[in-house]
Structure 1
């Protein structure tokens, strides 16, 4: 838990970010290539890109 003003309060956003970072680290450690492709990173982070809207559309999380 992350302390907030001296009391232990869970920071849900930070915990999710830590979890996603951990998943990326695990995936990166198993990649044979020097770098992970953007598509592989999106797959690990469960990100979908709606390419039908526009070329500049932002990724959408599931």
Structure 2
């Protein structure tokens, strides 16, 4: 039996990955093409922003 109360464990990395996957699914379903381009994927995942933040 599961304990009652505030014993929920949150894995913040896993939650972030799930959120990113959701963003990709939304972008893919809204895309006009059959597949997202690499540039579109980078835009959804904010790759350029991350690179800029880690460089500066």
**TM-score, length of structure 2 as denominator length:** 0.72
Structure having the larger proportion of residues in helix = 2
Whether 1:10 and 2:1 are equivalent positions in the alignment is: no
- Size of the aligned set, in residue pairs, is 47
Consecutive unaligned residues of structure 1, counting only runs of 5 or more, are 1-6, 49-58
RMSD: 2.1
Which is greater in Rg? 2
How is 1:14-25 mapped onto 2 (pairs within 5 angstroms)? 14-25=14-25
Consecutive unaligned residues of structure 2, counting only runs of 5 or more, are 1-6
Q: 1:60 aligns with which of 23, 29, 51?
A: 51
Q: Which has the higher contact order (CA 8 A, sep 6+)?
A: 2
Q: Deviations over 1:12-49 (max 9, x none)?
A: 0000000000000000000111110000000000002x
